[in-house]
Amino acid sequence: MFKPAAVLLASVFALALSASAAFAHAVLVKSSPGAGEALAQDDLELHLTFSEALEPRFSIFKIEAVDGADAKVSVSFDDDRREVVLRLDEKLRAGSYRVRWKVVTKDTHRMEGALPFLVR
């Protein structure tokens, strides 16, 4: 039979492992513009900073208008691959947009998300 202390210790260890796995995924920690903020029509760059390094070859970024049209964008990464710069190839019309991403981190975790913003 298992001793109660051993069962308790094993349960705590399993819980700690599952909690650390849940926190192991990259999250968006900073953006410019921020969620729901406005971007001037003359401003042609958006910056996204993630909590972990991303794999550029397997990471996809799109800028979509609410009507579903995609804007043409160039993507670059800083040296530690945590900050992504999205450079618009054209000025956007005034309206509501969102940045959508599907990324893979250096340790192969996959994540996706979206960030709404406005153009004035």
Q: What is d(CA 6, CA 105) in angstroms, rounded to the nearest whole number?
A: 36
Q: Report whether the peptide linkage leading into residue 33 is cis, meaning its omega lies within 30 degrees of zero.
A: yes
Query: What does the DSSP 8-state code read for residue 87?
Result: E
Residues 77-97: tens digit of each pLDDT: 999 999 999 999 988 999 999
Tokens of 26: 């990259």
Q: pTM of the prediction? A: 0.77
CATH code linked to domain 25-119: 2.60.40.1220
pLDDT of residue 3: 57
CA dihedral 70, 73, 77, 81 (to 10 degrees): 0
Give the model confidence (pLDDT) of 12-62 as tens digits.
344 444 444 445 578 999 999 999 999 988 889 999 999 999 999 999 999
Residue ranges per domain, the chain? 25-119
Per-residue pLDDT, 42: 86
Any idea what the Cα angle at residue 86 is, between residues 81 and 89, rounded to 5°? 145
